[in-house]
A and B are shown apart, each in its own frame.
Chain A
Amino acid sequence: MQSSAAILIVDDHDGFRALARIMLEADGFAVTEAATGAEATEAARIGRPGLVLLDIQLPDFDGFEVARRLAAAPAGGLAPVVVLTSTREARDYGGRIAASPAAGFLPKDQLSGAALRRFLARDL
């Protein structure tokens, strides 16, 4: 059964992952991490997180591609809520964010447990 409090953080930047883990765990989330697109799909398959915080810029393939794979591969369960994130702003990605199956976009500097819960609530 998929836990709504389980979050997968996908980012190749160790410092960000560590900080986000501290922040989100303090907010009551169970956090797992992945540093690449491949690790992310694998971790999502095993851990069944309720939400994936997905950096767009990844070393192997970009966040849009990972979001597509996550949306396509829910083997017998619900697909996780995917929130794209980046140090850039949403408008730097033009229409690509709207066109992706992700639930939305959250700039990295505005990350908080409350902001993520809003995505979860909207998706329910």
Chain B
Amino acid sequence: MNRWLRAALIAGATVAVGCFVWSSWLPNSQYAPVEVSFAVVGLSFMVAGIAAWQRWPASRLGLLFTIAGYLYLVPYILVNLANPAAWTIGNLSEGISGAALAHLGLAWPGGRLRSRFECGVVVANYVQNIAFNTAATMFWNPAFSGCNASCPANVLLIGNGSRPTLNTLDTTEALVGLVITGIVLTLIVRHWRSARGWSRRAMIPLLWIAPAVGAENILTGNLFHFSALVTYALLPLVLLAGPALFVISTVRARTAGGALGTAIVDLEPGAPPTRLRDALARALGDSTLQLAFRLPDGAGYLDTTGQVVDPARPGPGRAVTPVTEASGAVLVHDGGLEQEPQLIRLTAAAASMALEHTRLQAEVQAQLEQVRASRARIVEAGDAERRRLERDLHDGAQQRLVTLSLALGMARDRAAEADPELGSLIESASKEAREALTELRELARGIHPAVLTETGLTGAVQALVERSPVATTITAVPDGRFPAAIEATAYFVVSEALANVAKHARADGAQVMIRKFPGRLLVEVSDDGTGGARSEGGSGLRGLADRVASVGGVLRVDSPSGGGTRLEADIPCP
């Protein structure tokens, strides 16, 4: 809201209330509580006006509240001025604030009347009010109210006035007012019934204003007579409720921005769009909110419940706010919310952030999946390469060394009788060849254990255990074959674990247990040694953990100092 407008409204309200208090102080000091309640009611309308201007700058609600506030206070000020003209005008305009209240109620919350009929009702209400009051004043002699010399003169009085005419006019006015009030209340109820979502919530303060309109018209209509307590204390309190509720709801609306933040923070990462919609709907106070996404082929929009949404034709009383161009998402909400452009902008921004967050999350997840898959492929390719190397060694160099060794053996046998010296020379060559063969076999086994390819885990683990220098028992190994990458991983876990037992654990015995569970293979190697192994420390265990992770598994090391070591690999396995 404009700074000057706000300053003017505050100044106007202060002056009006000040004038009212000043004008009513001395002559009617015995009515001080009553006067204070009137001042508070008038002031409350002006404060609600400022709040409305602030909250919904595009709505005329602020103007209507302010006018109602002045129309409420000014007649009393005029009456108290004790000037004949002012006194007369004050008296005849006393009921007009009721018409302004009816106007306010019908125009709620947009500030505009919805149809020509409603315009007619509001104009008729103002006109009948002024017309009847003016006519009645012409026939009202202040002496009828027991006000002889103390009152200023009624400048509109015709002759000495006429009590019967005055009574007829009062009764007619009351009946006309009753009819119009009935129409106004019916219309307001219809507004309430047709409103949905945000608009219906925005009408809550009106639920109290509507009875107030009725009460005001009935009480000031002179048709019924109530005690001074009702007229001067209860009625102002009822009137006060409307503006007060409006101001409270405005303060609550201001915290809706904060609620949005909370809603987004509470939304866990990657929550489905339905949850986002619910969070936004709660924060906005619009239960009809729809979050719709453009279909990939550009063929239209679908909301989170799968309903087709057309942003070009959102339906009566509905409005559309795009979230961001990039996300292709729109918010379809109650049309009344357009009065809160700031809140809508915040909501769209919050939705955009949440969607972007989800998109980034999905992107990171996809990248992670890619990295995982490529790591698994790299490890598998490495395994395949090692298998090929081992086989090449076996088919090539090993084969040739065997043949060479056999040939040398034969040559030695034949040369030994004829030339013992040549015989021993060939024998030493043969020995070299055999040692080379043994070393080559060890090398090939280190590159990739042929026994794993040949027999799977059963034979391979058996071979490892047989070679282990620490007495090792196999508690369980499942029969059957598993995918090569899984067999190789399980094998390397056992191999590395047994090598560690031999090197570091100072153990008397070790145990190997491999068990197949639905969807996973559990490899456990435990020993009764000194413990104290750390997976993050030694590069051997670190590398093994990486290897296990490459097939999506987890390596756990439990190695309390002095309590032995238990290595457990939990590997996903079909």
Chain B interface residues toward A at CB < 8 A: 394-395, 398-403, 405-407, 409-410, 434, 437, 441, 445, 449-451, 454-455, 458-460, 462-463, 466
Contact = CB atoms under 8 A, between A and B. Distances in A.
A48 to B, nearest CB: 27
A89 interface: yes
A109 B399 contact: no
B394 A93 contact: no
A95 B458 CA distance: 9
B399 A93 contact: no
Given A22-B410, A88-B441, A94 B403 contact: no
B410 A94 contact: no
Given A19-B407, A89-B441, A95 B402 contact: no
A16 B403 contact: yes
Nearest to A55: B399
A113 to B, nearest CB: 11
Contacts of A15: 399-400, 403
A19 B407 CA distance: 7
Q: Is the interface of A mostly helix, strand, loop or mixed?
A: helix
Nearest to A85: B402
A5 B517 CA distance: 53
Contacts of A95: 455, 458-459, 462
A38 interface: no
Contacts of B450: 88, 92-93
B405 A91 contact: no
B399 A94 contact: no
Given A19-B403, A93-B454, A109-B406, A87 B398 contact: yes
A13 interface: yes
Q: Is the interface of B mostly helix, strand, loop or mixed?
A: helix
Counting chain A CB atoms within 10 Å of each CB, the highest count among B434, B450, B460 belongs to: B450
A54 B522 CA distance: 38
A20 B409 CA distance: 12
Contacts of B406: 16, 19-20, 23, 108-109, 111
B464 to A, nearest CB: 10
Given A19-B407, A88-B394, A94 B463 contact: yes
Contacts, number: 70
A96 interface: yes
Given A15-B399, A88-B450, 11 more contacts: A16-B406, A87-B399, A87-B437, A91-B451, A92-B450, A94-B454, A94-B459, A95-B455, A109-B402, A109-B405, A109-B437
B402 A87 contact: yes
Interface string A45-57: 0000000000001
A94 B455 contact: yes
Contacts of B458: 94-95
Contacts of A23: 406, 410
Contacts of B403: 13, 15-16, 19
Contact of B455 (A16, A89, A96): A96
A94 B477 CA distance: 14
Given A88-B394, A89-B441, A91-B451, A96 B402 contact: no
Given A57-B395, A87-B394, A88-B394, A93 B402 contact: no
Contact of B434 (A94, A109, A111): A109
A87 B403 CA distance: 10
B381 to A, nearest CB: 23
Nearest to B393: A87
Which 6 pairs between the two chains have the least Cβ-Cβ distance?
Answer: A94-B459, A94-B455, A87-B398, A108-B402, A92-B450, A92-B451
Contacts of A94: 451, 454-455, 458-460, 462-463
Contacts of A13: 399, 403
B434 A92 contact: no
